[in-house]
A and B are shown apart, each in its own frame.
Chain A
């Protein structure tokens, strides 16, 4: 009997404490002035920003004699750095103003740069950038197929997915990017040679 009564009491006490906590929470919330709740919510400090970390899965198409798995492994760090640079310039540290996008546009191959400049809204925060105070990444993942020409990566197709929360003076909202990037390896690193991209709410 005693052995049974002790856990029952513990459960009852736990339930009581939980109820009390909930009551306090409910009362506190209800006791504040109407406008106060909203102001508190939007003024609350944003959740600490997770560092941008691109998770990449890569495969490689290599000439005869090269090991495809090893080649994919070798190409991955450079691709991750490039995608990190892209997402940082496009979202995490996206600038406001027209001239501010030169850093991002520098990641595009020359023959596609003018088209990219006209389509910044589909590639980055775009026109929304000036009102965004912070971008907190929640997901940055990519799948790549890397083409080797000789012993070096020469081109790659990357499917990129990026989700984040953007903070503005009016509140916070989700931002999303889904892109297919065709990349060209140049002497200065990877450059985007073509793209098919969308931003905004997921479809």
Chain B
């Protein structure tokens, strides 16, 4: 037991001495610590930046809700050859990040190229989306860049797949015909509720005008929901585009779909006005129609001039 002890003491003393020497070196005010550890410098200060695509000044998109191509709702056929029950003209100023949603009553009685005058929703049944686009261009004087069409099934699936959309419901609704039972106030609607809110007409005081305004609200509610989700998780852009890929038919090339979606993350919904197109109830050939008033044409003129509010 006694033999190892001197060695141990020597070792311990050596260790203490070495540690002491190291400590002196490390704490000496005349020698910077960097001499021991390597000089750490700031190569780059903090910078942050972000950007979305810069697109041409104005984009006009016709969104169409078709009454066909919805097997879940007992509506057969192809959705592009049905009647257009929801018609919104989305006009977006891509530079100033603002715009308008013009909501058209589906019974608007307007000239349809090659088909006389008829309800605007018949144009798609006569000649598909291209004839509907031509009808809108003649009516508004606006050049329409793209269209996007979906069905009852498509709308409900879109809303359900993204987890619901936040909509500011503007009246209490008890509409048995559309299945809409909603209280006034901002709320998250599921697919069936969103469709019912967009379809309810018969019990509404403003009839077709209230309905078209509600359709615009659902569209803007979708934008609001999209932005909220992407702000929390940027990969949600892919989720939404995947849903739209499966549920919407459009003549938008995919790169433009992506660019528009990325741009849409920067456009505050409050900067997009939902503008129901003015008209009065009337009749034509025994059918109830909506005749657009001079106010409608004045509105188109303002939009053409870039005045969106």
Give chain A's interface residues, CB within 8 Å of chain B: 1, 5, 8-9, 11-13, 15-16, 18-23, 25-27, 29-30, 34, 37-38, 40-42, 44, 61-64, 109, 111-112, 114-116, 119, 121-123, 125-126, 128, 131-132, 145-147, 149, 154-157, 159, 166, 168, 170-175, 180, 182, 184, 186, 193-201, 203
**Chain A residues within an 8 Å CB radius of B254:** 149, 154-155
Asked if A37 meets B36 with Cβ closer than 8 Å, knowing A13-B7, A193-B258, the reply is yes
- B206 in the interface, Cβ–Cβ < 8 Å? no
Which residue of the partner chain, among A26, A122, A173, contacts B43 with CB atoms under 8 Å?
A173
Number of interface residues of B (CB under 8 A): 59
Which residue of the partner chain, among A25, A171, A182, contacts B258 with CB atoms under 8 Å?
A182
Assess whether B258 is in contact with A42, with CB atoms less than 8 Å apart.
no
**Chain B residues within an 8 Å CB radius of A27:** 21
Docked complex: B1-44 residues within 8 A CB-CB of A: 1, 3-4, 7-8, 10-15, 17-19, 21-22, 24-25, 28, 30-32, 34-44
24 example contacts (A-B, Cβ-Cβ < 8 A) are as follows A15-B11, A15-B12, A19-B11, A23-B17, A26-B18, A29-B36, A37-B35, A37-B36, A61-B238, A115-B54, A121-B44, A122-B48, A126-B47, A131-B43, A155-B237, A155-B238, A155-B241, A157-B235, A168-B41, A170-B39, A171-B38, A172-B39, A198-B46, A198-B47
**Chain A residues within an 8 Å CB radius of B44:** 121, 125-126, 128, 166, 173, 175, 199-200
Apart from A8-B4, A15-B14, A173-B43: 18 A-B pairs, beta carbons within 8 A: A16-B14, A19-B11, A29-B36, A38-B39, A40-B35, A41-B35, A109-B53, A112-B54, A122-B47, A122-B50, A126-B44, A128-B44, A166-B43, A166-B44, A194-B53, A195-B49, A196-B49, A200-B45
B3 CB, nearest partner CB in chain A, Å? 7
- B234 in the interface, Cβ–Cβ < 8 Å? yes
Which residue of the partner chain, among A23, A61, A123, A156, contacts B21 with CB atoms under 8 Å?
A23
**Chain A residues within an 8 Å CB radius of B7:** 9, 12-13, 16
Which residue of the partner chain, among B12, B17, B54, contacts A111 with CB atoms under 8 Å?
B54
**Chain B residues within an 8 Å CB radius of A186:** 255
Which residue of the partner chain, among B8, B10, B258, contacts A184 with CB atoms under 8 Å?
B258
Top 8 closest A-B pairs, CB basis? A19-B14, A37-B35, A122-B49, A22-B18, A171-B39, A200-B46, A119-B49, A115-B51
Assess whether B235 is in contact with A145, with CB atoms less than 8 Å apart.
yes
What separation, in Å, do the CA atoms of A111 and B52 have in the docked complex? 8
What separation, in Å, do the CA atoms of A61 and B242 have in the docked complex? 7
With both beta carbons as reference points, the residue of chain B lying nearest to A29 in the complex is identified as B25
Assess whether A34 is in contact with B31, with CB atoms less than 8 Å apart.
yes
Interface centre among B22, B31, B41, B43 (most CB of A within 10 A): B43
